[in-house]
Structure 1
Amino acid sequence: MLRVLTLSTLYPDATRSNFGVFVERQTLGLAALPDTLVTVVAPIGLPPRALRRASHRALARLPQEETWRGLNVHRPRFLSLPAANGRFAPALLARAVRPILDRMAGRFDVIDASFFFPDGPAAVALGRRYGVPVSIKARGADIHHWGVVRRAQVVAAGQGADGLLAVSAALKADMVALGLAGDKVGVHFTGVDREQFHPADRAAAKAALGLTGPVVLSLGALIGRKGHGIVLDAVATLPDVTLLIAGDGPDRAALAAQATARGVAARVHLLGSVPHAELPRLLQAADVMALASSSEGLANAWVEALACGTPIVIPDAGGAREVVTIPAAGRIVARDPQAFAAAIAGLLAAPPAQDETAKAAASFSWARNARALREHLVRLVLGATDPASPRGVTAVR
């Protein structure tokens, strides 16, 4: 029996159904494997009471422990200090988790941290306290942002962990450039649920949403890094094209103002946060999924779009070249409106067959993801008990 403690500050709850849904899906897949017991610790960072907004108050009311999607999930609170820019977050997180792990001492074999910061440094400290190996997975922003802002802490965690994972080979290269050992980092691709994400009749999918004509979907949090404004400017130059933007965040008002200023407010629809289960109907209706991210690890949205037979237009960011591997998958272009407009127009003029596009996602599977993760964690546990057993892994696909 492999007993895994999954530690993740990215995990869904009753107030945030889409928050870290990919971590949840990976964890559920791991827990479903034979001889595997998973306990989840999903710490919640809260600012001091004087700074709490309504969303923080809702988080504070969540249960400290619950059964969530069939798994035992602990949700300890730790103090988040915005002005400190993450400096104290790992120590505060670890302190909040220790009482739970003290009660579990001897009942977990490995700590699987599913985000690099602050989870990774906290996991390494906890692994030392309880004498178990630690794995840390990098997903993108945790390296591209925190690897700059809190570089020393990120590098120390990477050096102290027994094994590391990255969602793409490109992200692994970024980790090596940061100063982490390449032979310690495995590439661990995401998965996709093909029962939900699959090609469907595009005209019927549009009709179900009350849409006609060409449709472009931009999918992700409404923050500058995701580049929704670039896609909006591109679509503004393409007559009769409707743009759907699915996601929420601080840039919502600015995007609405931008659509008005470009004279395209009538054909730009800000959908807000869309439950993950409802994304397939949007992706099946879209002719193109365009996302102008400045940085990514390997976006789940890319893979989910392809699985629906919808080609993507993206910049050369993160694992883009590990996803756009055939012409039917879409285009990798410069991160500017002109390049996006040209690529979108080209795909609308000569759309690839949906089944050909879907082939680009054929290698992404949650079952494969779960098996590879278990094999990786088993190697770490064996390495902790047998010094001759290698702990690092160069590829887990």
Structure 2
Amino acid sequence: MKKIKRICIVADAYPTETDPKNPFIDQLVIAFTELGIECIVLNPVSLTKKIIRKSVLRPKRWSKKTNSSVIEIYSPRYLTFSSKKFWFINTNFLNLILFQYSCLKVLKEIGPNFDAVYGHFIFPSGISANKISKKFNIPAFFAYGENTNYTIDNLGADKTRKLLKDINGVVAVSTANKENLLKQNIVDENKIGVFPNSINNKLFYKRDKVEMRKKYGLPENAFIVAFVGRFVDIKGANRLSEAIQIVGPDKVKSIFIGFGNVGPNCDGILFEGKQPHENIPELLSAADIFVLPTLAEGCCNSIIEAMACGLPIISSNRSFNDDILDETCSIRIDPMDINAIAEGIERLYENEDLRKKLSDGSLKKAQFLNIEERSKNIIAFMEEKIQDKSQDTKR
């Protein structure tokens, strides 16, 4: 079986220190380099969006050092148009073509000598990875971790299916995501592997609660609920806030890490706002439980990070959580039911033995959700699919 030694990563968003969007693809790429795999990232940047938002353009070529390697990132400019659909005009097609052109232009300059190309999400990166595959005869894969259907809806299921017809494999982050692809017949089932998201366990691990509370000036004896996520309706900071008011802010204090327009307004908030990524595990370790009444996820990193810090979880009973949450580590609730969220909090507030049981369960589950194992399993899956395709071609 041929081993993968060099990967081209395609991502329409890649984090920098000043623009930290999409950190999880960066963590996976770093994990790939730790396996001795050379990674080149194609990260086209929309010139239109940068001009409109008056934001600083990242260099056309830049690099990031890891413990074992240097990741080279190329950020060619391309124009984009607002997403509109008329009778026979869909500007998403034009955006896709321009995105693909910018990727192909870089590959013509640096050479397409890769063992695989990996697109992060379906549109535009996954479809572009398949375009690169056809152009340069490189096996292509894409990750499917979207929390809604938006990357399929951009072009429609029929067109998306045709554009991904020859893809070698798909890395789905949950069984629910896999089922969504199958329901819409986007790719064949034998091409899909399920690899739940994971954490860097060198950063996310349980710290001493008393020490962390002293460090951040939090009350030593308070019962603290933690939330991490964007302040948007889909994540549910507003619903958690209402539930805390029902339980009583005299009993429960809270930490809300995130930003957005649909934030908390309950009493007893100890901290609200953004935090550097490296501070999050310390603040999680200072809390007693983690609550995220989310409506839609691919596979939620925030939940896994909280589990790694030893927190009992209260979260959605919807299928996207099935791969990571069960009765050993969590209380599953209807994320739209404020009273159910409040009852879950009250139950954990009153039952120290249950908190201990779910905390132990979280730590145990998180041991198997680390980025090192995930990266190894994804590479093994890709190598297997390349081998399968090679054998099919010979028949």
TM-score, normalised with respect to structure 1: 0.86
The CA distance in 2 between the partners of 1:322 and 1:48, in whole Å, is 36
Q: Give the aligned partner of residue 343 of structure 2.
A: 342
Write the letter of the residue equivalent to 2:226. L
Q: Give the aligned partner of residue 217 of structure 1.
A: 226
Q: Give the aligned partner of residue 393 of structure 1.
A: none
User: Is it true that 1:97 corresponds to 2:103 in the alignment?
Assistant: yes
Write the letter of the residue equivalent to 2:184. L
Any runs of at least 4 consecutive aligned residues in structure 1 with deviations exceeding 4 A, and if so which? none
Kindly indicate whether the alpha-carbon contact (under 8 Å) linking 2:171 and 2:378 is maintained by their aligned counterparts in 1: no
Kindly indicate whether the alpha-carbon contact (under 8 Å) linking 1:30 and 1:373 is maintained by their aligned counterparts in 2: no
Q: CA RMSD in A?
A: 2.3
Query: Aligned runs of 1:112-127 on 2, under 5 Å?
Result: 112-127=118-133
Deviation at 1:168, TM superposition (A): 1.1
Unaligned runs of 5+ in 1: 391-397
Q: Give the aligned partner of residue 256 of structure 2.
A: 245
User: Is it true that 1:65 corresponds to 2:61 in the alignment?
Assistant: yes
Deviation at 1:87, TM superposition (A): 4.3
Unaligned runs of 5+ in 2: 85-90
Kindly indicate whether the alpha-carbon contact (under 8 Å) linking 2:12 and 2:43 is maintained by their aligned counterparts in 1: yes
User: In structure 2, the residue corresponding to 1:225 is in which secondary structure?
Assistant: coil
Write the letter of the residue equivalent to 1:102. K
Deviation at 1:367, TM superposition (A): 1.5
Deviation at 1:381, TM superposition (A): 3.6
User: In structure 1, the residue corresponding to 2:348 is in which secondary structure?
Assistant: helix
Kindly indicate whether the alpha-carbon contact (under 8 Å) linking 1:114 and 1:136 is maintained by their aligned counterparts in 2: yes
Deviation at 1:299, TM superposition (A): 0.6
Q: Give the aligned partner of residue 332 of structure 1.
A: 332
Taking a change above 3 Å as real, the CA distance of residues 5 and 183 of structure 1, as seen in their structure-2 partners, is same
Deviation at 1:324, TM superposition (A): 1.5
Kindly indicate whether the alpha-carbon contact (under 8 Å) linking 1:146 and 1:154 is maintained by their aligned counterparts in 2: no
User: Is it true that 1:177 corresponds to 2:183 in the alignment?
Assistant: yes
Q: Give the aligned partner of residue 87 of structure 2.
A: none
**Alignment partner for residue 363 of structure 1, among 362, 368, 373?**
368
Query: Aligned runs of 1:95-244 on 2, under 5 Å?
Result: 95-141=101-147, 144-152=149-157, 153-180=159-186, 181-212=188-219, 213-239=222-248, 240=250, 241-244=252-255
The CA distance in 2 between the partners of 1:108 and 1:304, in whole Å, is 33
Taking a change above 3 Å as real, the CA distance of residues 187 and 48 of structure 1, as seen in their structure-2 partners, is closer
Kindly indicate whether the alpha-carbon contact (under 8 Å) linking 1:124 and 1:157 is maintained by their aligned counterparts in 2: yes
User: In structure 1, the residue corresponding to 2:322 is in which secondary structure?
Assistant: helix
Q: Give the aligned partner of residue 9 of structure 1.
A: 12
The CA distance in 2 between the partners of 1:80 and 1:177, in whole Å, is 30
The CA distance in 1 between the partners of 2:317 and 2:62, in whole Å, is 41
Kindly indicate whether the alpha-carbon contact (under 8 Å) linking 1:2 and 1:109 is maintained by their aligned counterparts in 2: yes
Q: Which deviations, in whole Å up to 9, do the C-alpha atoms of 1:72-102 show, x marking residues without a partner?
A: 1111222232343744332221011111111
The CA distance in 2 between the partners of 1:48 and 1:287, in whole Å, is 41
Query: Aligned runs of 1:268-279 on 2, under 5 Å?
Result: 269-272=271-274, 274-279=275-280
User: In structure 2, the residue corresponding to 1:89 is in which secondary structure?
Assistant: helix
The CA distance in 1 between the partners of 2:126 and 2:238, in whole Å, is 33
The CA distance in 1 between the partners of 2:109 and 2:241, in whole Å, is 52
The CA distance in 2 between the partners of 1:149 and 1:16, in whole Å, is 25
Deviation at 1:125, TM superposition (A): 1.5
The number of residues matched between the two structures is: 371
Deviation at 1:105, TM superposition (A): 3.0
Q: Give the aligned partner of residue 22 of structure 1.
A: 24
User: In structure 2, the residue corresponding to 1:290 is in which secondary structure?
Assistant: strand
Kindly indicate whether the alpha-carbon contact (under 8 Å) linking 1:297 and 1:318 is maintained by their aligned counterparts in 2: no
Q: Give the aligned partner of residue 291 of structure 1.
A: 292
Taking a change above 3 Å as real, the CA distance of residues 318 and 278 of structure 1, as seen in their structure-2 partners, is farther
More contact order relative to length (CA 8 Å, sep ≥ 6): 1
User: In structure 2, the residue corresponding to 1:322 is in which secondary structure?
Assistant: coil
Deviation at 1:385, TM superposition (A): 4.1
Taking a change above 3 Å as real, the CA distance of residues 372 and 292 of structure 1, as seen in their structure-2 partners, is same
Kindly indicate whether the alpha-carbon contact (under 8 Å) linking 1:197 and 1:307 is maintained by their aligned counterparts in 2: yes
Greater Cα shift, 189-198 or 367-376: 189-198
Q: Which deviations, in whole Å up to 9, do the C-alpha atoms of 1:20-69 show, x marking residues without a partner?
A: 211111111112214x22111122234267x6123xx22x2x11111113
Taking a change above 3 Å as real, the CA distance of residues 121 and 21 of structure 1, as seen in their structure-2 partners, is same
The CA distance in 2 between the partners of 1:104 and 1:131, in whole Å, is 16
The CA distance in 1 between the partners of 2:247 and 2:210, in whole Å, is 20
User: In structure 2, the residue corresponding to 1:27 is in which secondary structure?
Assistant: helix
Deviation at 1:330, TM superposition (A): 1.6
TM-score, normalised with respect to structure 2: 0.87
Write the letter of the residue equivalent to 2:210. A
User: In structure 1, the residue corresponding to 2:165 is in which secondary structure?
Assistant: helix
Taking a change above 3 Å as real, the CA distance of residues 276 and 133 of structure 1, as seen in their structure-2 partners, is same
User: In structure 2, the residue corresponding to 1:296 is in which secondary structure?
Assistant: coil
Q: Give the aligned partner of residue 394 of structure 1.
A: none
Greater Cα shift, 370-379 or 129-138: 370-379
User: In structure 2, the residue corresponding to 1:233 is in which secondary structure?
Assistant: helix
